[in-house]
Structure 1
Amino acid sequence: MDSKYKTQEEKYEYIANQHGGYYRHNFTDHAYLYNLYFPPKEIFSHLKENIEDLVLNYPMAQNALAELIGNVINQPTERIVVGNGAAEIIKILSSSLAKKIIIPVPSFNEYVNAAPKGNAVEFPLEFPSFQLDVDKFADEAIKIGADMAVVVTPNNPTSIVVPKADLIRLAEKLKPSNCMLIIDESFLDFANDKEQISLEQDICKYPNMAILKSMSKAYGICGLRIGYMLTANVDFAKVVRNGIHIWNINGFAEEFLRILPQYKQEFEASCNKVKVDRDLFYKQLCTIDGMTVFKPDANYIFCRLPDTALSGPEVTKRLFIKHNIYIKDSVGKTQPDADRYIRIASRTPEENTTLIAALKEVMYE
C-alpha cells in the first residue's frame, strides 16, 4: 500500500480529499466521468513516436489551437477559445467576466466555486424531477440582473438533457437583458440524437449564446486537459481569450487535436459503446428495490437511495472500504435530501455488474 495510508479506511479518507490521480491507488473508479473506449491505441503510438519533438519544443498559441478545434467541430477560428480543460474557461467566465451569474442546482460546482462571494445565484431545479423550468429560470435571471446564465446539459450530477427548444427559448428571453447564456455540452456526446440536441451548428443564430465543452470527458483524455468555448459573438470570444495565457495547452494536447479528425469513426463507435453499456447498467440499477433511478442522457447515473437504506456518504464509504469501488455521493450539492443521492459512472459491463452486487450488499445495516 502507498505510505500515505495503512488501512482501507485511511485510503478512503485520503482519496475522498483528492481531485484526480486515482489511477495511482488501485481501485475501481465509478466517480470520474470519462469515455473508457477512446482514444484508440494508434493515437498513443503516434504520441510516443513524436515524444521528443513534443517535449522539446514550444507548443502553438491560441489562434493556431482554435484552428485545430475548428477542424474537429467544423467552425471558424474566431468563434473558438481553447482552454486547459473547460475548467480554465469556467474560471475566466465566473471569476472575471460575470458580475452576476445564475446557475440551476444541483450542478457542476465549479461555476459557483469560481465566482467571487455574492456574485453567483443558485436556482433550484424542480424537485423531485430535477427538470429545468427555463421560463422560471429566465424570469429569475432577469429579476436579479444576471449578465451570465449557465445551463449544463446533460446536467451533472442528474444526467438529464435540457431540450434544445427550451434552450433556444431561454436564449431569446435573456437577449433583451444582455444576459449571456453559457451552455455546457461536455457530456452531450453520450446523449441519443446528439446532432438534434446540440446547438453547436446553430450558434450563429444566437449572439448571446456560448457553448462550453470539456473534451476530457467524451474523448477520454483527462490528463491532456483540453476544453473549448464556441460563440458567434466574436467580441465575447476576444474578451475570454484575453484571460488566457500564451501557452496554455501543452504539445501532447496540441498533437492530439492535430490528428483527431482522422479518428472520427472510432470516436463515434466508442460513444455508442458507452451508451450501450450505460443503458444496460440503468436497467440493472432499476431492479434494486426502492431505488429511484433517473433515466440517464450521459455516461453516469443519478440515483436516490431507498429511505430505509443507509445515507449516500455511508454507502459510498462502505462500498470503498469493503469492495474498493469509488462512487460520488451528493453531499456538497445544493439540493433537498442531498445525503440520499449518489452518482455512479458507467464503466465496462463486468465492472457495472460487480458494482450492482456490491451496492446491494452495503446499502443496509
Structure 2
Amino acid sequence: MEKKYTTQSEKYEYISKQHGGYYRHDFTDHAYLYNLYFPPKEVFSHLKDNIEDLVLNYPMAQNALAELIGNIIQQPTQRIVVGNGAAEIIKILSGSLAKKIIVPVPSFNEYANAAPEGRAVEFPLEFPSFQLDIDKFADEAIKVGSDMAVVVTPNNPTSMVVPKADLIRLAEKLKPSNCMLIVDESFLDFADSKEQISLEQDIAKYPNMAILKSMSKAYGICGLRIGYLLTANADFAQAVRNGIHIWNINGFAEEFLRILPQYKQEFEDSCKIVKADRDVFYKKLCAIDGMTVFKPDANYIYCRLPETALSGPEVTKRLFIEHNIYIKDSVGKTQPDADRYIRIASRTPEENAKLIEALKEVMYVKSN
C-alpha cells in the first residue's frame, strides 16, 4: 500500500484522522479497545477452511442471526436485533427513533453525533469524580422531554461501571415518562463480577429498557462488525429491526456466531487475562508522580495528567512521534479540562510496561 506520509510527524497527522486500518501502519495501538487474547487460532482455522462457502453464498437474515446470538446469551430470538457492529444500531436509535436522546458526558461520542441537530442533550457527569448521579440524570431527562436515555457501563472513556441497582432505579424513574433506557454493556465482560452487574438476564422485568452490546471489543473481532440490542419490549425491538436492511451481517460474522458457543471457556479465560494485565497496568500508572488515575472496570484506563505536565494532545503526539505508541486524548469530549485527560487501552504486560516508561519520558518539556 502506498504510504501517505514520509516522516513520523506526518504519520501521526495521518493516523489521527483515521478510524481503523491501524494494523497496516506499524505502531503500537493503545487507542482502540479490544481483547488481544481472543479469538483462539482454531476460530481462524475454521473460517479459512470454510472461506469458499462463506464468500460464495448469501448469509442469513435477521431472525436466524438473532437465534445465533440467543444461543450465546440464553435469550429468546424475538428480543434480539443484530447489528453490523453496535454502531449500526446506534445510528438507528439516535438517528431516527429518538425524538430527544439524553447522554451523560463524557461518553462515547457516537450517540450524540448520530442524532439530528437539536435532538441530543448532553448531561455532564459529576466533576471531578465522573460519577453518574442517577436522580439528577432522571430529573433532567424528564425535564427536557427525552424519550430515550443512554448509559454506557463501564463508561467510555472513564472506564467506570454504573451500579446495577442505580440502573434499575433509573429505569423505574423514567418509566412514567415513556422514556426508553439504553444500557450499553459493550465493555462489561472486563468488569469484576459482571454477572451481578449485567442486566441481560433481568431484561424481562423492565419493558422500558434495552441493552446494547458491541461484540467487537470483548471478543476481539473489530473487523467482523457484530453488535446486538436486547429488549423485552416487542414494539421497540421491531422499530429497531425496521431500520436494518435484510443482509446486514456478512458470512464470516455469521459463522463466527455459529461456532462461538464452543469457545465459552476460552473466552472467559481471555477476559481474566485482560483483567489481570489491566490491574498491573493500573498500579504502575498510579505510581507516576502527580498522575490522577481512575480505577478501571474495563480494559482501558482514564488518567488526568499532572498539572505541570504537557497537555493531553501534546503528550499523545510526542508519544507517537518519539515512541511510535498511539493513545487517545480527551479533546473532543464534552467535559471540563478536556485537554488534561488521556485514555489508554491495556495491552500485553510488555507493551504496557513500555508505554509507562515512554509516558514518563514525554510528559514534561525536556530541560537542556
Same-fold status (TM-score > 0.5): yes
Letter in 2 for 1:215: M
Q: Residues 305 and 311 of structure 1 are in contact (CA less than 8 Å); yes or no, is this contact kept in structure 2?
A: yes
Q: Distance in 2 between matches of 1:3 and 1:295?
A: 39
Q: Residues 138 and 173 of structure 1 are in contact (CA less than 8 Å); yes or no, is this contact kept in structure 2?
A: yes
Query: After superposition, what is the alpha-carbon deviation per residue over 1:255-304, rounded to whole angstroms, capped at 9, x for unaligned?
Result: 00000000000000000000000000000000000000000000000000
* Aligned twin of 2:129: 129
Structure 1 residue 96, shift from structure 2 partner = 0.3
* Aligned twin of 1:197: 197
- Within 5 A, what are the aligned runs for 1:50-199? 50-199=50-199
SS at match of 1:353: helix
SS at match of 2:210: strand
Letter in 2 for 1:232: A
Q: Distance in 1 between matches of 2:354 and 2:322?
A: 13
- Within 5 A, what are the aligned runs for 1:32-47? 32-47=32-47
Count of residues in Structure 1 that have an aligned counterpart in Structure 2:
365
Letter in 2 for 1:87: A
Letter in 1 for 2:268: E
Letter in 1 for 2:289: D
Q: Distance in 1 between matches of 2:189 and 2:360?
A: 30
* Aligned twin of 1:359: 359
Query: After superposition, what is the alpha-carbon deviation per residue over 1:43-79, rounded to whole angstroms, capped at 9, x for unaligned?
Result: 0000000000000000000000000000000000000
Q: Residues 164 and 199 of structure 1 are in contact (CA less than 8 Å); yes or no, is this contact kept in structure 2?
A: yes
Structure 1 residue 3, shift from structure 2 partner = 2.6
2:349 aligned with 1:344: no
Q: Distance in 1 between matches of 2:320 and 2:301?
A: 18
SS at match of 2:333: coil
Q: Distance in 1 between matches of 2:254 and 2:243?
A: 19
Q: Distance in 2 between matches of 1:340 and 1:20?
A: 25
Query: After superposition, what is the alpha-carbon deviation per residue over 1:95-144, rounded to whole angstroms, capped at 9, x for unaligned?
Result: 10000000000000000000000000000000000000000000000000
Q: Distance in 1 between matches of 2:146 and 2:3?
A: 48
Structure 1 residue 2, shift from structure 2 partner = 4.8
* Aligned twin of 2:218: 218
Q: Distance in 2 between matches of 1:279 and 1:232?
A: 35
- Within 5 A, what are the aligned runs for 1:272-351? 272-351=272-351
Q: Distance in 1 between matches of 2:222 and 2:303?
A: 25
Q: Distance in 1 between matches of 2:235 and 2:252?
A: 29
Q: Distance in 1 between matches of 2:2 and 2:334?
A: 34
Q: Residues 106 and 333 of structure 1 are in contact (CA less than 8 Å); yes or no, is this contact kept in structure 2?
A: yes
* Aligned twin of 1:270: 270
What is the TM-score of this pair, normalised by structure 2?
0.99
Q: Residues 180 and 208 of structure 1 are in contact (CA less than 8 Å); yes or no, is this contact kept in structure 2?
A: yes
Q: Distance in 2 between matches of 1:81 and 1:96?
A: 16
Q: Distance in 1 between matches of 2:106 and 2:82?
A: 26
Q: Residues 2 and 25 of structure 1 are in contact (CA less than 8 Å); yes or no, is this contact kept in structure 2?
A: no
Letter in 1 for 2:273: K
Q: Distance in 2 between matches of 1:342 and 1:96?
A: 32
What 5-or-longer segments of structure 2 have no aligned partner? none
* Aligned twin of 2:48: 48
Letter in 1 for 2:115: A
Q: Residues 186 and 218 of structure 1 are in contact (CA less than 8 Å); yes or no, is this contact kept in structure 2?
A: yes
Q: Distance in 2 between matches of 1:97 and 1:263?
A: 35
Q: Distance in 1 between matches of 2:6 and 2:50?
A: 40
Q: Distance in 2 between matches of 1:343 and 1:192?
A: 20
Letter in 2 for 1:285: L
Letter in 1 for 2:201: Q
Which 4+ stretches in 1 moved above 3 angstroms?
A: none
Q: Distance in 2 between matches of 1:282 and 1:107?
A: 21
SS at match of 1:270: helix
Q: Distance in 1 between matches of 2:3 and 2:82?
A: 38
Structure 1 residue 31, shift from structure 2 partner = 0.0
Letter in 2 for 1:72: I
Query: After superposition, what is the alpha-carbon deviation per residue over 1:195-226, rounded to whole angstroms, capped at 9, x for unaligned?
Result: 00000000000000000000000000000000
* Aligned twin of 2:24: 24
- Sequence identity percentage: 88
Query: After superposition, what is the alpha-carbon deviation per residue over 1:294-326, rounded to whole angstroms, capped at 9, x for unaligned?
Result: 000000000000000000000000000000000
Q: Residues 213 and 227 of structure 1 are in contact (CA less than 8 Å); yes or no, is this contact kept in structure 2?
A: yes
SS at match of 1:245: coil
What is the TM-score of this pair, normalised by structure 1?
1.00
